[in-house]
Amino acid sequence: MKKRVAAWLLAVLILSANVFALTASAVIKVDQLETPHHVQFRVYDDGYCERVNIGCVFSEQFTNLTLCSEEERREKYGMENAAFFLQLDYRIDGGEWHYSSLWDSDLTAPSFYKQLAVGDCVRAMELFYLNDAQNRELAGSLCKVDGKKASDGSTRYVFDFDNHTLYFRMRLVVGYSVGQDTRILTSEWTNPVTVTRDNAPGKAPTELEKPLLRDAQVKYDESTQMPYLAVRFDTPESIKEAEAWLTVQKQSQIAVDAVLKVGDQEKNVTLSTMVGYASDEEKYIMLEPSDCDDARTLTLKVRYLTYLDDQPLTSPFSDEVSFDVPRWTAEKGLTHPRCKVCGFCYPIFGLCMFIWLGILLIVGIVVGVVLKMKLDKKKAQKARAEEERQRKIAAEQEARRRLKEEKKLKNKKSSK
């Protein structure tokens, strides 16, 4: 009996694991952030003073963290109330870095840091004014009076690159909480970068690699009840490096031309993104009703586009990707989207029909096990009651038999 119950329960556990593995996911443990790369800088004159702008490319790991909603971040990474920062450290000549261990426990401690918005992946960050009066170290003996005057006629100070050397390094920081505990997660520092006025690192891109278009899937906007394309393409490292250079040196970015083919006609469509086009994250194209006036197969191709000195620079077009679009009418709206899990059924309350069947099967098995256990218990009780009844009957019959024998003995004795 116990072996049968154990076997039933084991079967239930196995089925439960198989069904809910489709929707459940383990918490991803992040012990350290990946170091930013493709570090860039630019020294430029804004007409009043010199500035140093810096930029870098964030890792996919860090970008994924910033893209998650609070709920997703809590479920995926176990993080709550997360805040993201790009932290900067600098030193001059052979002096010490400004970093102290306090920076690892207090996000307000660094002199230079920038809080990052959701989706930031390549951004410029102002290092400092080289003649900022509040920065006594730079505004003092390490700067010299420039021959030009500022726009307001005041004296201009510029950093004395001939006699002094300026270095900087960066790292990424996430401040978050787990329950009542507040924690800080950091990356390693980038390698030190030497700042020069005329020789910034990297070169202007002369060509762009084509996007590696992975797929395009039709999804549905619940607010408009219209389909849209969720597009993914793998971005070559050369494009990310070019994006970092363009962001810092030209304050521009890489865009994307997207061409949708409907029937025999091609048209340019808008590709939307949260994190920039030089990324691997999902991008979106909203479809027009005319694209869906009949169930059909459409094709898509994309290419990178940027401008250098007002001249366009484009990559070759990607290979085309085909996808199916369901019929849509103004009267009936969308045909009900098919399940994303099995691709066959229509979801019931957002869950695959086979998941529901699995849930019902598990519930049925559990109910069956419980009912069988109750039935077996009742049968056992009934068998024991019957056994007890038969035992009592046998005892009564034995008692009557003995009583008869005793009467016979008495009669024999009395007759003698």
Whether 244 and 389 share a structural domain: no
pLDDT at position 315 is 92
Is the residue at 416 inside a domain? no
Is 287 among the domain residues?
Answer: yes
Lowest-pLDDT range, 68-77, 150-159, 341-350?
341-350
DSSP 8-state code for residue 30? -
Note whether residue 355 is domain-resident: yes
Contact 61, 33 (CB under 8 A): yes
Q: Considering only 61-75, 126-140, 313-327, 357-371, which range has the smallest mean pLDDT? A: 126-140
- Give the alpha-carbon dihedral of 224, 333, 214, 38, to 10 degrees: -10
Boundary residue ending a domain (296, 312, 340): 340
DSSP character at residue 239: H
Domain identity same for 311 and 348: no
Which residues face 308 on adjacent strands? 311
My answer on whether 305 and 378 are in the same domain is no
Q: Are residues 31 and 167 in the same domain?
A: yes
What does the pLDDT read at residue 125?
Answer: 61
**Bridge partners for 125 per DSSP:** 54
**31: pLDDT strictly greater than 60:** yes
58 & 188 share domain: yes
Q: Is residue 280 situated within a structural domain? A: yes
* Distance, CA of 44 to CA of 126 (rounded, Å): 11
Please identify, among 320, 340, 360, the residue that sits at the C-terminal boundary of a domain.
340
* Confidence check: pLDDT of 38 > 80: yes
Give pLDDT tens digits for 293-316: 666 678 889 999 999 888 899 999
Mean pLDDT of 7-11: 50
Residue 385: inside a domain, yes or no?
Answer: yes
Judge whether residue 190 has pLDDT over 90.
Answer: yes
How far apart are alpha carbons 397 and 394 in whole angstroms? Answer: 5
Q: For the whole prediction, is pTM greater than 0.75? A: no
Do residue 308 and residue 371 come from a single domain?
Answer: no
Q: How many domains does the chain have?
A: 3
Higher pLDDT: 148 or 118? It is 148
Instruction: Domain of residue 35: give its range.
Output: 27-195
pLDDT digits (tens, 9 = 90+) for 128-157: 666 555 555 555 567 777 777 777 777 777
Higher pLDDT, 168 or 130: 168
The reply to whether 217 and 335 lie within a common domain is: yes
Nearest to 123 by CA among 278, 310, 231: 278
User: Using CA of residue 352, residue 358, residue 363, residue 367, what is the dihedral sign?
Assistant: positive
Residue 372 has pLDDT above 50, yes or no: yes
Q: Are 193 and 167 in contact (CB under 8 A)?
A: yes
Of 4-18, 207-221, 272-286, 337-351, the range with the lowest mean pLDDT is 4-18
Answer yes or no: is 63 within a domain.
yes
Q: Look at residue 358 and give its three-state secondary structure.
A: helix
Q: Domain check: are 234 and 325 in the same one? A: yes
The domain that contains 149 carries what CATH number? Answer: 2.60.40.10
140 is a domain residue: yes
* 145 and 31, same domain (yes or no): yes
Q: Are 99 and 157 part of one and the same domain?
A: yes
357 and 224 assigned to the same domain: no
Residue 374 corresponds to which tokens in the numbers above?
């109750």
289 φ, ψ to 5°? Answer: -55, -35
Q: In the listed set 163, 195, 227, which residue is the last one of a domain according to the structure?
A: 195
Does any domain span residue 202? Answer: no
> Do 100 and 147 reside in the same domain of the chain?
yes
Across all residues in the chain, what is the average pLDDT? 78
pLDDT for 17 equals 47
